[in-house]
Amino acid sequence: MTTIGFIRHGSTAWNKEKRSQGLSNIPLDEAGLLQADKLGERIRNEKWDVVYASDLSRARATAEAIERLANLPLLLDVRLREASGGEIEGTTEQERIEKWGEDWRSLDLGIESAESVIARAMPVVDEIMEKHCGKNVLIVSHGAFTRHMLKALVPSIDLTVSPKNTSITRLVKTDAGWDCELYNCTIHLG
């Protein structure tokens, strides 16, 4: 049985300001570094075999804390990056409304679609399944990326509450497909 744990990176200043990050290479803030260390301590006490991560600094730093504290091998992959925010990167909801109006979501602002994220990320999941069959694998990535992948792998999943910073969502591969056995867990943050 193969298990994949999807982890959202630790917090950043832009998370707190509610700015769209997308492909912008925003580092973890002080709280995010602490969250990553707490996550690494948790992972050390669980059964995981390897960690994959987006190469963007906020995900990479979160994964490096896991690598250091849980002594897991770390592999970076650009296909695990966040969905591109196009022209909205760096802006807040209010700034988007001021610039493009209330219906800004209906405009073509270069935002990467869920289909595009899934098309580039599904091959990574397939490669992980082939390379680490029967193992427990962590994937450290980003909020929109994780939501898109979870919806693709477990279509019935309830994503009303978005994944929190350093949350773990655990999927188990069964004969019938993927089952979500844990969603958005941040017990390590207290």
Query: What six digits make up the tokens of 171?
Result: 């999927």
- For the chain, give the mean pLDDT: 97
Task: Please give the pLDDT value at position 3.
Answer: 97
The reply to whether 142 belongs to the active site is no
Domain region containing 176: 3-86+112-189
Tell me how crowded residue 54 is: count the other CB atoms within 10 A of its CB.
24
Residue 11 is labelled as binding a ligand: yes
Amino acid at 157: I
The verdict on residue 98 lying in a domain is: no
Residue 8 is labelled as binding a ligand: yes
Q: Report residue 1 CA to chain centroid gap.
A: 22
Task: Please give the pLDDT value at position 42.
Answer: 98
Residue 14 is labelled as binding a ligand: yes
Total number of domains in the chain: 1
Per-residue pLDDT band at 1 (split at 50, 70, 90): confident
Residue 9 is labelled as binding a ligand: yes
The verdict on residue 99 lying in a domain is: no
The reply to whether 148 belongs to the active site is no
How large is the average pLDDT for residues 24-35? 98
The residue assigned the tokens 């091959």 is: 123
H or E element that contains 148 = helix 143-153
- Report the candidate in 71, 73, 35, 28 with the shortest Cα–Cα distance to residue 53: 73
The verdict on residue 97 lying in a domain is: no
The verdict on residue 143 lying in a domain is: yes
Q: What digits encode the pLDDT tens for the residues 78-136?
A: 999 999 999 999 999 999 999 999 999 999 999 999 999 999 999 999 999 999 999 99
The verdict on residue 31 lying in a domain is: yes
The verdict on residue 63 lying in a domain is: yes
CATH number at residue 35: 3.40.50.1240
CA separation for the pair 175, 187 (Å, rounded): 29
How large is the average pLDDT for residues 24-53? 98
> Which one of 64, 67, 82, 89 is the catalytic residue?
82
Do 26 and 14 meet the contact criterion of CB atoms below 8 Å apart? yes
DSSP conformation class of 12? B
DSSP conformation class of 155? T
> Which one of 9, 142, 148, 188 is the catalytic residue?
9
